[in-house]
Structure 1
Amino acid sequence: MAVSDIAACIAQIKYTPNPKPWAYPEEVRRKALQMYVDGMNLRRIARHLGLHHRTVSLWVKAQAAQLPDPPVPEQVKEAEMDEVFTFIGDKKTKSLSSPS
């Protein structure tokens, strides 16, 4: 057999009689992204749709990369302080973990 005959035979070999498509349907992708936007975590989305959580993570990351950068305000008119920060700042008793 010549080398070209062997190459022709190898080109005709199919390891999987009915290969599955590589990509998930676009509807599944859209549904996963909508579930993420609605507040569901990656693993729960994956379990619900029968996917791997890493697949969902990659879809979310790819979608986030397509978003434009948020606008940066030129000047801040009001600044809000977190209540936890103000509560800790006004704390009257000593912390239990601090040395006495």
Structure 2
Amino acid sequence: MADLSNIREHMEVIGADGVHVGTVDRIEGDRIKLTKKDSGADIEGAAGKHSGHHHFIAGGLVAEVEGDTVRLSANADVAVAMEEEEGGEAA
């Protein structure tokens, strides 16, 4: 797991496959809180349950932080399937 302290607001979160997963709102504990506006928006089939509210990515999925990008160790579709909702339950 990469150092989460290097992650800043508005950084792009991408899967290992380079597909956009979301945009960082902030770090909460050991999770990345994604912005509401595009949380899962570019993932095929993600509309509906993955839009309009915050989702979280576990910090353990972060492979590296480079520039303004957070790259995950999982492909985008897998990362979205593993996202957590506001209360901590799986999305």
What's the TM-score bracket when you normalise by the shorter of the two chains? under 0.3
Higher relative contact order, structure no. (Cα contacts within 8 Å, ≥ 6 residues apart): 2
Give the number of the structure whose residues are more often strand, by fraction: 2
Give the TM-score, by structure 2 length: 0.23
TM-score, normalising length: structure 1: 0.22
